[in-house]
């Protein structure tokens, strides 16, 4: 039941309730009068929508093109899919059986157009169906046309109870008739009728765009052994690679969907730094992840899809060689993929220079496949490693704004033996937000008596008005 402006009403009811004369939209008090023992549940549209979406995802096993239809239906585009299941009747039987196994009451309808399929599924009942859509729809009530409640009532009053009776009415008069009643809605009846009969196009928006490169594998007996899964995945990968090779494309992102027998599914994603159509490489990426896959009660279907593809590149070194040293190194790309898919945070990275003179901003890790940037080399000496955060240190200097004499870093005292500096680095005011308190830094390269070298800086200047005392920080280490 749902709570609306007109009080509590039944939102939907099951077969038993319908048998006792209850119907959706009825007031709860009326319903209670008819059936005092009625069991009711609050209607939660969001939860229902979420459940329907999950069901749609699960139902991708039947067709990659699934869409939600209203709040209680699913639309499948089964063009080119049915033969995988042994024809449309077999597909429908399989669908009904699997949905029933999940505890749903299910009605199905197949038609060349969405409107017709809607009508047949919801209102078709067990009527025999032929190939002729017009004939199939003719005996159905006008309510099957997905039109408004008021239009249905109007049509009924006119004696037009079935869709078939609408066929005989001239289109002009149908349009005129409904325009006279309520402008705008007439288009609805005519449009819906045209859509059901395939006279007007109606787009189906699936849950997500159909991948151009996808392959699936369904088995009767759920697979549990890792070897079988690996073999099936290997087979799929080879099929996908053949598809890719024919199209001259390479996969950048792969997504494996493993459908478990209990209706859940596991997804494994693989990323590649360059378009690949190499089944061995893909298999090497997949294998460690496959080991971690929880097969549950067994896997009865696998769907592999190249979510992102790019033009395949030949392995021949092109004229780009030298400009981008790693760009054409396929082995390196393969290694990078293996690393990023298993262990490293983001595969292989290159250290590239960024146009900034703040030491911590002047470098960034970029994916290695990017074209190598030619960097101007800095004149000033820079440390071998840079601490991710400058660490405060206590420093003794001969004069307040002079070079350091002693300092303590990480609880170790160091006596400065040699020192070079300062190198002043001013804050980049254009990056600072309003009211930020970035201060100039004076960097020193110091060597302690042991020969260890450090890069430290004093932040701020002495004698600045309304500023705290300058502070020392450790920022980098030299070899």
Partner 1 sequence: MRGPAHPRAAEDVSVAETSQSGVALIARLKARIARITGSASLKAPAQLWNFGLPEIDAHLADGNLGIGAVHEVAPFSWPDMPAAIGFAASLGVLRQEKARKPVLWLRLCAQTREMGELYGAGLHQLGLARGRLLTARVKKPGDLLWALEDALRSGVASLVIADAPSAASDLTISRRLQLAAAAGLTPAILLSQKPMKGGTAGATRWQVRAAPSLPPVDDLLAPGNPAWALSLTRCRGGKPGEWSVEWHHATHRFSLVSRLRDRTIAGFDEKSGEGISIPTRPALRAIERRA
Measured distance CA(10)–CA(20) in Å, rounded: 14
The count of chain residues that interact with partner 1, using the rule CB under 8 A, is: 57
**From candidates 309, 453, 459, 472, binder to partner 1 by CB under 8 A:** 453
- In this chain, which stretch among 211-219, 290-298, 412-420, 456-464 interacts with partner 1, using CB under 8 A? 412-420
Based on CB atoms, which residue is closest to partner 1, 385 or 467?
Answer: 385
Which of 412, 434, 463, 466 binds partner 1 (CB under 8 A)? It is: 412
Contact between 457 and partner 1 by CB under 8 A: the answer reads no
Contact residue for partner 1 among 48, 202, 230, 447 (CB under 8 A): 447
- Residue 43 is given by DSSP the state -
Residue 405 CB, nearest distance to partner 1 (Å)? 12
Q: Which residue has the tokens 């991710």?
A: 388
The distance from CA 280 to its chain's CA centroid, rounded to whole angstroms, is 26
What is d(CA 234, CA 224) in angstroms, rounded to the nearest whole number?
A: 16
Stretch that binds partner 1, among 138-146, 186-194, 249-257, 324-332 (CB under 8 A): 324-332
Q: Among 139-147, 222-230, 273-281, 363-371, which window interacts with partner 1 (CB under 8 A)?
A: 363-371
Q: Does 84 engage in binding with partner 1 (CB under 8 A)?
A: no
Angle in degrees, CA 409, 411, 412, rounded to 5:
70
55 belongs to the binding site for partner 1 (CB under 8 A): no
Candidate segments 37-45, 64-72, 242-250, 376-384, binder of partner 1 by CB under 8 A: 376-384
Whole-number Å distance between alpha carbons of 10 and 32: 10
User: Both tokens of residue 171?
Assistant: 């289109």
Stretch in the footprint of partner 1 (CB under 8 A) among 39-47, 207-215, 289-297, 449-457: 449-457
220 binds partner 1 (CB under 8 A): no
Binding to partner 1 by residue 339, rule CB under 8 A? yes
Q: Which of these segments, 196-204, 270-278, 425-433, 471-479, binds partner 1 (CB under 8 A)?
A: 471-479
Q: Which stretch binds partner 1 (CB under 8 A): 94-102, 291-299, 432-440, 447-455?
A: 447-455
User: What are the structure tokens assigned to 417, written together?
Assistant: 């033996």
Q: Which residues contact 211 (CB under 8 A, 6 or more apart)?
A: 64, 305, 306, 307
What mask of x and - would describe binding to partner 1 in positions 248 to 287, judged by CB under 8 A? ----------------------------------------
Tokens 């911590």 belong to: 360
Question: How far apart are the C-alpha atoms of 363 and 280, rounded to whole Å?
Answer: 35
> Of 88, 91, 142, which is closest to residue 115 (Cα–Cα)?
142
Distance between alpha carbon 465 and the CA centroid of its chain, in Å?
54
Out of 383, 422, 427, 440, the residue judged to bind partner 1 by CB under 8 A: 383
Assess 372 for contact with partner 1 (CB under 8 A): yes
**Quick check: 253 and 307 in contact, CB under 8 A?**
yes
Among 344, 396, 413, 436, binds partner 1 (CB under 8 A): 344
Give the burial class of 12: count Cβ atoms within 10 A of its Cβ; 0-12 exposed, 13-18 middle, 19 or more buried: middle
- Min dist CB 417 to partner 1, Å, is 6
Q: Residue 246: which region, alpha, beta or left (left: phi > 0; alpha: psi -120 to 50)?
A: alpha
Phi, psi dihedral angles at 29 (to 5 degrees): -65, -40
Dig out the tokens for 300 from the structure. Answer: 């009865």
Give the count of beta carbons closer than 10 Å to the beta carbon of residue 278: 19
The contact set with partner 1 (CB under 8 A) reads 325-326, 329, 331-332, 334-336, 338-339, 342-353, 359, 362-363, 365, 368, 372, 374-375, 377-378, 381-388, 412, 417-420, 445-447, 449-453, 476-479
């Amino acid at each position: 039941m749902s709570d609306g402006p007109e009080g509590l009403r039944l939102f939907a009811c099951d077969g038993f309730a319908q048998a006792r004369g209850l119907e959706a939209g009825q007031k709860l008090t009326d319903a209670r009068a008819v059936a005092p023992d009625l069991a009711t549940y609050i209607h939660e549209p969001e939860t229902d929508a979420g459940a329907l979406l999950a069901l749609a995802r699960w139902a991708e096993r039947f067709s990659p093109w699934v869409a939600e239809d209203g709040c209680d239906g699913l639309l499948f585009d089964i063009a080119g899919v049915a033969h995988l299941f042994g024809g449309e009747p077999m597909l429908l039987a399989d669908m009904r059986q699997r949905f029933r196994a999940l505890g749903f009451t299910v009605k199905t309808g197949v038609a060349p157009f969405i409107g017709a399929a809607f009508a047949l599924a919801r209102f078709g009942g067990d009527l025999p169906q032929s190939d002729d859509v017009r004939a199939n729809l003719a005996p159905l009530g006008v309510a099957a046309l997905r039109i408004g409640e008021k239009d249905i009532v109007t049509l009924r009053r006119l004696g037009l109870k079935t869709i078939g009776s609408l066929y005989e009415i001239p289109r002009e008069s149908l349009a005129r008739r409904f325009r006279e009643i309520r402008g705008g809605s007439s288009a609805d009846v005519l449009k819906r009728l045209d859509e059901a009969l395939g006279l007007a196009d109606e787009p189906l928006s699936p849950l997500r765009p159909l991948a151009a490169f996808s392959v699936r594998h369904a088995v009767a007996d759920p697979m549990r052994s890792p070897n079988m899964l690996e073999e099936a995945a290997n087979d799929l990968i080879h099929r996908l690679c053949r598809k890719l090779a024919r199209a001259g494309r390479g996969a950048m992102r792969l997504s494996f969907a493993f459908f478990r027998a209990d209706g859940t599914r596991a997804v494994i994603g693989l990323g590649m730094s360059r378009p690949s159509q190499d089944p061995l490489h893909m298999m090497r990426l997949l294998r460690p992840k496959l080991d971690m896959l929880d097969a549950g009660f067994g896997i009865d279907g696998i769907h592999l899809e190249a979510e992102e593809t790019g033009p395949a590149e030949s392995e021949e070194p092109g004229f780009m060689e030298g400009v981008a040293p790693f760009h054409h190194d396929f082995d390196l790309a393969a290694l990078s993929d293996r690393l990023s898919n298993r262990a490293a945070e983001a595969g292989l990275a290159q250290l590239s220079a960024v146009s900034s003179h703040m030491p911590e901003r002047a470098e960034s890790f970029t994916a290695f496949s990017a074209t190598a940037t030619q960097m101007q080399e800095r004149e000033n000496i820079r440390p071998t490693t840079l601490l991710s955060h400058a660490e405060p240190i206590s420093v003794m200097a001969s004069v307040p704004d002079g070079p350091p004499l002693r300092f303590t870093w990480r609880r170790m005292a160091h006596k400065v033996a040699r020192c070079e500096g300062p190198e002043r680095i001013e804050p980049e005011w254009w990056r600072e937000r309003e009211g930020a308190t970035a201060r100039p830094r004076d960097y020193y390269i110091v060597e302690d008596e042991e020969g260890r070298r450090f890069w430290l800086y004093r932040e701020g200047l002495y004698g600045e008005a309304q500023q705290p005392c300058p502070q020392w920080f450790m920022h980098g280490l030299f070899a």
